[in-house]
Structure 1
Amino acid sequence: MSMNNLPLVSIITVNYNNPHHTVELLESIKKLSYPNIEVIVVDNASVQNPFHIFKEIYPGTIFIRNDRNLGFAGGNNVGIRYAKGDYLFLVNNDTELTKNIIEGLLDVFTCFPDAGIVCPKFRYYYHKDIIEYAGYTKVNVFTGRNKMIGCGEVDKGQHDEIRETYYAHGGGMMISRDVINKIGYLPEIYFLYYEEFDWCEKLREAGYKIYYQYRSLIFHKESMTTGKNSVLKTYYINRNRLLFMRRNNRFPIFLFFMLYFVLFTIPKNTFHFLLKKQFAHLSAFWKAIYWNVFNPVF
């Protein structure tokens, strides 16, 4: 099949003060077997402009530099608006793609007409035989939490089946242009974390499904931009957990969640941060709560 008969895939990634990891992602993109791609790097107002670094590694890179940090959702949306692809593959810059990843993801769209988003299998970059993601469970309406399927397991093929999953992994998800035209862009109110969950809720409401493709593999360095134990992460994880539940659950279900959050989550987290003397994290946690008290749901 000639390249003209292959759908164009736009690979979009967002860089924020991590040019080294973006370079390594671009190096892996150069090794892809799928020929019909465009590569878009959106820079979220990094301290130094990395344009020349990326162009040297991947000369065909389409580089867009924002004048301020728009977060994960906003940065990706800039790339989505510019992209020309029939399919858009949004990937974290702290990932490494494997050679045949694109073909496997596209196969799911061909075989399952109701596919809206398709995600690859994730393994950890620094522990390449350990699974990070083989799908997601549904967010529990009482606790506001869910789990990654397969997380922490040695990959012995136990999750090697194409299947529907409840949520996409924001670190690597392919979506069709037609679906974006129907459901809109990533919700920018989240800035970081939970935006892909909200997107998936809207996608399902529109009649589409999210699939996991085990034959496509991606390696993830995990939380390289925000840090695994950063105050920023504490703030946005807690702020957006509340925001997600507010946006996607009606009374009385939301009331049950709030009872759990007030009676269990708040005392538990407050005590934990006090015990560990992590006062910056404690402040971030309470700021996340206050934000939800004083900001309406959009």
Structure 2
Amino acid sequence: PEIRIIENGRNLGYTGGNNAGMLAATGNYFLLLNNDTEVAPDFIDPMIHLAESDTEIGAVSPKIVYYDHPDTIQYAGGGKIDLTRGRISWRGWMQKDDGRFGEAVETTLLHGAALLVKRCVVEKVGLLNEHFFAYYEEIDWSLSIRKLGYSIYFMPKSLVLHKESMTVKKDSPLRVFLMNRNRIYLSRIHTGFWQHLFFIHYLLGVSLSINLIRFLSKKRIDLVMAYCKGIIAGFRNRDIQTKKYLKWR
């Protein structure tokens, strides 16, 4: 098949880059795949077959293992979603890939490193919210897809190896900034008044102290600054619920 390369002219992040690709694509499915992944042969087919089996299935994510430790699972489906504390978990995370997660099951969350979504679903739920830029955007999308009545599935027969955080390093100030800011965005969009208020109290009363101590113990003033800037940015942006990126353009 032909490959079309899109030059955006600037870094649009995970959200803007994938949105540009989806707008240019013509198929019935969109496959979002990180640039720090490798895939098993024919990994797409099981996801397509699963999605085709039920009109209520909106999106599918494959089994994701660590590239350097391919016997260790990163993602075998979504786990608990705790919007009150801005935390999410992955089913099977850091567990041995010993066959325990060998069945296709309905799950809570997609994984941004690799996911397949139906075009008809994106036309209803909208493109990725570009306010996020990177991190938590797939959580926002997953919650929105499920609110529309579609289900999300995990497909273990599709395998992806993930070189995690090669684009943005784990201790990068940019990553700390985006992760912290976007937790606030996610809470603002998907929680009610009282739950969001509880989240703010937890963020400022518990999470802030824990992370500042952790960063200072490493003598990482740059991460302290990034964390604090993330909080400020999260509260300043009052347009996070704008419809600009929630509609199919």
Q: Shorter-chain-normalised TM-score: which range?
A: over 0.9
Report the CA distance between 1:293 and its aligned residue. 2.2
The answer to whether structure 1 residue 100 and structure 2 residue 42 are counterparts is yes
State the Cα deviation string for residues 220-274 of structure 1 (Å, max 9, x = none): 1111111122111111011101111111101111112122112100111112212
SS of the aligned residue for 1:253 comes to helix
Q: What letter is aligned with 2:7?
A: R
Q: What letter is aligned with 1:227?
A: K
Equivalent of residue 9 in structure 2, options 47, 67, 82: 67
Report the CA distance between 1:110 and its aligned residue. 2.0
Greater RCO (CA < 8 Å, at least 6 residues apart): 2
State the Cα deviation string for residues 35-94 of structure 1 (Å, max 9, x = none): xxx5xxxxxxxxxxxxxxxxxxxxx32111111111100000000000011111110011
Distance in 2 (CA, whole Å) between partners of 1:138 and 1:189 is 24
Distance in 2 (CA, whole Å) between partners of 1:74 and 1:92 is 13
Distance in 1 (CA, whole Å) between partners of 2:152 and 2:134 is 21
Contact kept, 8 Å, 1:122 with 1:133, in 2: the verdict is yes
Partner of 1:276: 218
Q: 1:37-186 counterparts in 2 under 5 A?
A: 60-186=2-128
Distance in 2 (CA, whole Å) between partners of 1:88 and 1:146 is 24
Equivalent of residue 285 in structure 1, options 209, 227, 230: 227
| Higher Rg of the two aligned structures | 1
- The two structures have a TM-score, normalised by structure 2, of 0.93
Q: 1:203-222 counterparts in 2 under 5 A?
A: 203-222=145-164
Q: 1:257-268 counterparts in 2 under 5 A?
A: 257-268=199-210
How many aligned positions are there?
240
Distance in 2 (CA, whole Å) between partners of 1:162 and 1:123 is 16
Partner of 2:179: 237
SS of the aligned residue for 1:158 comes to coil
RMSD of aligned alpha carbons: 1.1
Report the CA distance between 1:97 and its aligned residue. 1.1
Distance in 2 (CA, whole Å) between partners of 1:233 and 1:146 is 17
Q: What letter is aligned with 2:171?
A: N
| Structure 1 residue runs of 4 or more that deviate by more than 3 Å after TM superposition | none
Q: Which runs of 5+ in 1 are unaligned?
A: 1-37, 39-59
Q: Which runs of 5+ in 2 are unaligned?
A: 242-249
% same residue: 38
Partner of 1:295: 237
- The two structures have a TM-score, normalised by structure 1, of 0.78
